[in-house]
């Protein structure tokens, strides 16, 4: 993607984020539930409640509240969390790396296994391996990610307790982290026991989160591979006497990846959304887990900050997908 196009996409992100902010703001004030009441409990006096309401600016007109929030937000100030009494931006930044590591692990799992299954199915077309790939895809798609999470916990955590099912790191390991990117940091610092424990904790949530995407990649890529294999340039490669693996990997795969990237791009964003439930189920200390707590507490500033963060992630991901697409397709690169 050219620099000018990138700039255009970034500028377009501004109205999108504004729209998201408006919708969340309105929504959170329309749904029943009062954050102040949640905070102080039944025993407090009306004066205390009114004071707090004034403190958080909740007594002002809606439009004014939004104006104040927006003016602060563009400066990077998302206010103070009502339930945690901490800076919202701080809270989010502390949790975001965990979610990024989880999502990236899930995407990497899905990409690796999705491509492997697709190639397997295309190579042994019409034979048992293709049937196995189809059956896997159907099963993985029929069961949503959070249900996979519960199944894994039940089977690999309870019935056959071989895997950790909660948290991010074995609490007995003491790891004085500088950043919240634990996996990256432990790797760079050579703390391999910590890294091992982190990865072990990451496996089940990442696989649960990535399975539906794996299935979609396997299915879409397999059919576009089969289509690409019927093209004349593949016949031509056979005429030359190229081997079958070479034909699939070097001639067909790159062409087949283009429709796959287009069709699965949307699924990436579903995956990010899926972190909310998966993190809750696995007690994983990420942004999604924080989001659920924030909603339960009606913590308006925190919810707003988290939603905006997710929106930025979605937009960044979409731009990344389009860039990959341009990279794969020389027509777009030159045209």
Q: Between 92 and 253, whose beta carbon lies closer to other proteins?
A: 253
Residue 43, CB half-sphere, CA atoms under 13 Å: how many?
0
- φ, ψ of residue 80 in degrees (nearest 5): -110, 135
Q: Is 238 in the site for other proteins (CB under 8 A)?
A: yes
Helix (H, G, I), strand (E, B) or coil at 175: coil
DSSP 262-309: HHHHHHHHHHHHHHHHHHHHTT--SHHHHHHHHHHTT-HHHHHHHHHH
Minimum CB–partner distance for residue 239 and other proteins (Å): 5
Using rule CB under 8 A, residue 236 touches other proteins: yes
Applying CB under 8 A, the span of 56-64, 73-81, 129-137, 230-238 interacting with other proteins comes to: 230-238
**Residue 75 Cβ, how far from other proteins at the closest point, in Å?**
46
Nearest to other proteins of 125, 238 (CB atom): 238
Q: Please give the distance of CA 32 from its chain centroid, rounded to a whole number.
A: 29
125 contacts other proteins (rule: CB under 8 A)? no
On whether the CB atoms of residues 279 and 288 are closer than 8 A, the answer is yes
How far apart, in Å, are the Cα atoms of 143 and each of 25, 150, 208?
Answer: 33, 11, 10
Q: How far is the CB of 321 from other proteins (least distance, A)?
A: 18
Nearer to other proteins, 8 or 244 (CB): 244
- Residues 209/194, Cβ–Cβ less than 8 Å: no
Q: Hey, what are 10's tokens?
A: 């970034």
- How is residue 159 written in tokens? 């019935």
Residue 239 sits in the site that holds other proteins (CB under 8 A) = yes
Q: Is 131 in the site for other proteins (CB under 8 A)?
A: no
Among 101, 130, 251, 299, binds other proteins (CB under 8 A): 251
Nearer Cβ to other proteins, position 48 or 231? 231
Q: Does 233 bind other proteins (CB under 8 A)?
A: yes
CB 244 to other proteins: min, Å: 7
334: contact with other proteins by CB under 8 A: yes
Size of the site for other proteins (CB under 8 A): 20
**What does the CA dihedral 320, 323, 324, 329 come to, rounded to 10 degrees?**
160
- Residue 127 as a binder of other proteins (CB under 8 A): the answer is no
Residues that bind other proteins (CB under 8 A): 231-233, 235-236, 238-244, 246, 251, 254-255, 328, 330-331, 334
């Amino acid at each position: 993607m050219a620099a000018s196009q990138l700039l255009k996409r970034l500028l377009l992100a501004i109205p999108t984020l504004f729209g998201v902010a408006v919708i969340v703001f309105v929504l959170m004030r329309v749904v029943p539930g009062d954050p102040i009441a949640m905070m102080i409990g039944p025993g407090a006096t009306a004066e205390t409640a009114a004071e707090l309401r004034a403190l958080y600016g909740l007594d002002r007109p809606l439009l004014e509240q939004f104006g104040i929030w927006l003016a602060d937000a563009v400066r990077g100030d998302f206010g103070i969390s009502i339930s945690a009494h901490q800076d919202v931006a701080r809270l989010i930044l502390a949790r975001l790396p965990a979610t990024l590591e989880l999502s990236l692990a899930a995407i990497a799992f899905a990409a690796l296994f999705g491509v492997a299954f697709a190639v397997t199915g295309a190579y042994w077309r019409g034979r048992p391996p293709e049937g196995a790939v189809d059956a896997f895809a159907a099963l993985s798609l029929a069961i949503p990610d959070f249900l996979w999470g519960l199944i894994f916990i039940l089977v690999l955590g309870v019935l056959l307790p071989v895997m950790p099912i909660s948290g991010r790191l074995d609490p007995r390991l003491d790891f004085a982290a500088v950043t919240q990117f634990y996996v990256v940091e432990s790797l760079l610092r050579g703390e391999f026991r910590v890294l091992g424990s982190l990865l072990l904790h990451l496996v089940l949530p990442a696989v649960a989160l990535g399975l539906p995407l794996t299935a979609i990649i396997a299915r879409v890529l397999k059919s576009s591979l089969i289509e690409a294999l019927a093209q004349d340039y593949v016949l031509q490669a056979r005429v030359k006497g190229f081997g079958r693996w070479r034909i699939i990997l070097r001639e067909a795969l790159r062409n087949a990846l283009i429709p796959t990237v287009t069709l699965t791009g949307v699924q990436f964003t579903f995956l990010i959304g899926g972190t909310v439930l998966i993190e809750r189920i696995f007690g994983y200390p990420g942004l999604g887990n924080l989001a659920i707590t924030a909603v339960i507490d009606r913590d308006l500033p925190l919810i707003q900050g988290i939603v905006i963060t997710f929106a930025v992630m979605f937009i960044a991901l979409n731009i990344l997908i389009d860039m990959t697409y341009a990279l794969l397709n020389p027509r777009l690169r030159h045209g």
